[in-house]
Amino acid sequence: MITRLRHIGLALITLPGLIISRQQRVLFREMRSFEHGLPAALKAPLPAALQSLTPAPVAPTVREQAIRRLADLAALLDRRSPLGLCLRRSLTRYHFLRRAGVPVVLHFGAKFVDGKPDRDVTGHAWLTLNDQVYHERGENWRNFTAMLSFPQDNGKIRP
């Protein structure tokens, strides 16, 4: 219930910008298209896929906060995607924030369900900026062990 309320809040906060700003509408359409193409992009070997999802920086037309919210909304709206919400959100944020010149790093992690090794393993994806978790609720990333981070070491994948 709380998660659903957060999602509604995100839509309500983001909607005025989409109504008023042509740049936000254009960016949002681009994000939706990008997000829909993620399953196909991730069929490539992971190093090549992540490299292809890393754009060259260009001058942003929308503020960082709006980019983040628009990316979150684009990922949230694609309920039919075979990819989990955190992966869609993190990859969409990653691509568009990196393009705006924000040097975020993408992390993929795993943990045992309920913290017990005899349980199933669950995964999560999140971003950091300057080695700090980037706009992610603590319960979403705590207790996950980062298995892969990108980019690191001059753009190479770091296990």
pLDDT per residue as tens digits for the range 68-85: 999 999 999 988 899 999
- What mean pLDDT value characterizes the chain? 87
| Whole-number Å distance between alpha carbons of 71 and 66 | 8
Span of 13-22, 72-81, 116-125 with lowest mean pLDDT: 116-125
Q: Is the pLDDT of residue 159 over 50?
A: no
> CB of 54 within 8 A of CB of 99?
no
Residues ≥6 apart with Cβ < 8 Å to 159: 147, 148
Structure tokens at 122: 């669950």
Q: Is the pLDDT of residue 9 over 90?
A: no
Structure tokens at 32: 């939706």
> CB of 8 within 8 A of CB of 48?
no
Which stretches does DSSP call E strand in the chain? 105-112, 121-129, 132-133, 145-152, 156-158
In this prediction, residue 38 has a pLDDT band, given cuts at 50, 70 and 90, of very high
Q: Is the pLDDT of residue 100 over 80?
A: yes
In this prediction, residue 106 has a pLDDT band, given cuts at 50, 70 and 90, of very high
pLDDT (average), residues 33-58:
95
| Whole-number Å distance between alpha carbons of 55 and 34 | 12
Q: Which domain holds residue 34?
A: 2-158
End-to-end CA, the chain: 36
Span of 20-24, 87-91, 111-115 with lowest mean pLDDT: 111-115
Domain count, the chain: 1
* CA dist 52 → 103, 110, 114 (Å): 16, 24, 35
> How many helices (DSSP H) and strands (DSSP E) are in the chain?
7, 5
